[in-house]
């Protein structure tokens, strides 16, 4: 039997994935984590993303309150992008996913506690 709390949490996860569950959204969040960037800077930091996909992801993330765009030129229209408070909350998620992949690849740095005698790894 699934509890009401578990059901509620599952629904929240579905809602979160609707915002950031596509291929590039969390990568865009990670690219903006160091601070505000222009479109070309974001594109350069994400090899493999096409400009039309990046444009769409930025638009979607703005709509969902994760990214902010501040216009700095009218002709042509140009923006500088940054994370909102809601977007900054996702940086821990991107960091955790990177650490998870490092661990899966076997390149996590071992940090053994000599007294415990276990094989704990810290990414």
Supply the CATH number for residue 32's domain.
Answer: 1.10.10.10
Residue 9 lies in a domain: no
Which strands make up the sheet holding 78-83, listed edge to edge? 37-38, 78-83, 67-73
- How many domains does the chain fold into? 1
Residues 94-111, mean pLDDT to the nearest whole number: 80
Per the confidence metrics, is the pTM higher than 0.85? no
Query: Which residues form the domain of 68?
Result: 22-105
* Burial track 99-112 (b if 16+ CB lie within 10 A, e otherwise): eeeeeeeeeeeeee
Residues 38-61, mean pLDDT to the nearest whole number: 97
Residue 43 lies in a domain: yes
Residue 28 lies in a domain: yes
Residue 8 lies in a domain: no
Residue 110 has pLDDT above 60, yes or no: no
Residue 112 lies in a domain: no
Residue 114 has pLDDT above 50, yes or no: no
The band of 2, judged by pLDDT with boundaries at 50, 70 and 90, is confident
Residue 96 lies in a domain: yes
The band of 1, judged by pLDDT with boundaries at 50, 70 and 90, is confident
């Amino acid at each position: 039997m699934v509890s009401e709390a578990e059901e509620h949490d599952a629904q929240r996860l579905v809602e979160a994935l609707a915002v950031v569950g596509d291929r590039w959204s969390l990568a865009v969040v990670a690219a903006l984590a160091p601070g505000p960037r222009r479109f070309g800077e974001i594109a350069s930091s994400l090899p493999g993303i096409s400009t039309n996909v990046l444009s769409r992801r930025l638009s979607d993330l703005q709509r969902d309150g994760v990214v902010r765009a501040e216009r700095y030129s009218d002709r042509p229209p140009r923006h500088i992008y940054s994370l909102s408070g809601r977007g900054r909350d996702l940086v821990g998620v991107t960091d955790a996913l990177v650490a998870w992949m490092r661990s899966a690849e076997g390149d996590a740095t071992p940090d053994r506690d000599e007294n415990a005698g276990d094989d704990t790894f810290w990414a």
